[in-house]
Structure 1
């Protein structure tokens, strides 16, 4: 006697396993909470705590993807959840924190700059999700939203650490916020560092350099973070200009031959 064929409902249940992977989504949830906590801290006037929450969210965001790959727990749900978490932690939280600190005194110009940043982060994440399968993993198209958030957070942290008044920095903060929002939706290329594999062997000298880097960082974290992320933000336009010059030189050689 032959066994009955499985129904379409049974096949559906087998094809769609219920539940989600816990470990990577815990990191994503923690990053989401970091963005939420940054907003609450800024509302209460605790800007240094808001900055630290954004940096913690950045670290957790970098870990959730690596944990998912190492444990082979990638999923479509995790990818979508990560994008929503990034929007809160690196799109909404930094713009609200910088607005509450310096931009609200500028009136419409202040909230417009904050909105451009938020909209730029949303568009950047949407474009990244649609091009993830065809994009070159070595490069980001446009400034990554975590780096933009870190640039704003580091600027605020350095200003608070040096007791610089928000009133005198309102216009520079507005210009920086607007510029970062536009860089996120630009075609400027930024290095992704995704080809770096922590499991690869490195020279002993590299370990010494890393140790010295930690020592320098401990001396004054606000300044080191500000300088580091400023260099990264500026590296995109410089790299793009260099690549354009190389392409023009190649085209000239081809036209001559």
Structure 2
């Protein structure tokens, strides 16, 4: 989510009256680009260009991860940017994946498939609304422990496309089965709005003895994104799902440690 400031704070207007600076406009421009990328994915899906449709949403996720960080680097945070980011996320990671998956597979079950697409989009909107409602609340157990609540919006969209990755890579139409896709989308939608603790990248602190191997793995991942992008996306999706029980285990340890500390006071 985009960083925020007071609603009446007008940080983008120069005191000399010359209007908006490029520094203030850049993060919001990146957010708008992410929104356009997600919507373009729908256009590709209508034309049956499934690879481009999925990659357009993946590009939106990359841009979404960049805009907030650039805003903080440039000290260009604003409430407007936060609200724009939330609306863009709802469309790019809720509406766009739902429509792409409906055109790709779910329309094989006209009623249940459409309800699955609606449910996913609604759950994504509810997640983002919950985030905005809690943004000023100080007492957030998951956040204070370095965890997120539920599956983040970009990750949820990426997980929803797992059957598409497998279908593109293998060509097996079993992955395009509308009933299986409906059940899968329902599962991801439930994880998006769940209250379970999930890993946050900002809380990851690798030991010094593994940092160099991690840098090497990151470099290889970039190469894989160019050579075998679908296998990379499959690996990332499955890896995230495998790590979810680990996140619950870690949060359970933190929770027990906190309870013990409070009992000793």
So what's the TM-score if we normalise by structure 2?
0.79
Paired with 2:182 and 2:214, the residues of 1 have a C-alpha distance of 39
Paired with 1:95 and 1:44, the residues of 2 have a C-alpha distance of 16
Give the length in aligned residue pairs: 238
Farther off after superposition, 203-212 or 72-81: 203-212
Aligned residue number for residue 127 of structure 2: 124
Q: CA deviation at 1:206?
A: 3.6
* Residue ranges of structure 1 left out of the alignment (5+ in a row): 1-13
Q: Which of 44, 50, 65 in structure 2 is aligned with 1:47? A: 50
Q: CA deviation at 1:46?
A: 1.2
Aligned residue number for residue 180 of structure 2: 172
Contact 1:189/1:237, CA 8 A, preserved across alignment:
no
Contact 2:163/2:175, CA 8 A, preserved across alignment:
no
Q: Which of 150, 154, 160 in structure 2 is aligned with 1:152? A: 160
C-alpha distance 251-15 of structure 1, shift in aligned 2 (>3 A): closer
* CA displacement 1:192-225 (0-9 Å, x = unmatched): 112469xxxx944443332333344544221221
* Residue ranges of structure 2 left out of the alignment (5+ in a row): 1-7, 14-18
Paired with 1:188 and 1:215, the residues of 2 have a C-alpha distance of 33
Do structure 1's residue 72 and structure 2's residue 75 form an aligned pair? Answer: yes
* CA displacement 1:152-179 (0-9 Å, x = unmatched): 2343133123222278522221111001
C-alpha distance 245-26 of structure 1, shift in aligned 2 (>3 A): closer
Aligned residue number for residue 188 of structure 1: 196
Paired with 2:171 and 2:33, the residues of 1 have a C-alpha distance of 30
Q: CA deviation at 1:145?
A: 1.1
Do structure 1's residue 236 and structure 2's residue 239 form an aligned pair? Answer: no
Paired with 2:234 and 2:252, the residues of 1 have a C-alpha distance of 28
Aligned residue number for residue 108 of structure 1: 111
So what's the TM-score if we normalise by structure 1?
0.81
- SS for the counterpart of 1:73 is coil
Q: Which has the larger radius of gyration?
A: 1
Do structure 1's residue 38 and structure 2's residue 46 form an aligned pair? Answer: no
- SS for the counterpart of 2:198 is strand
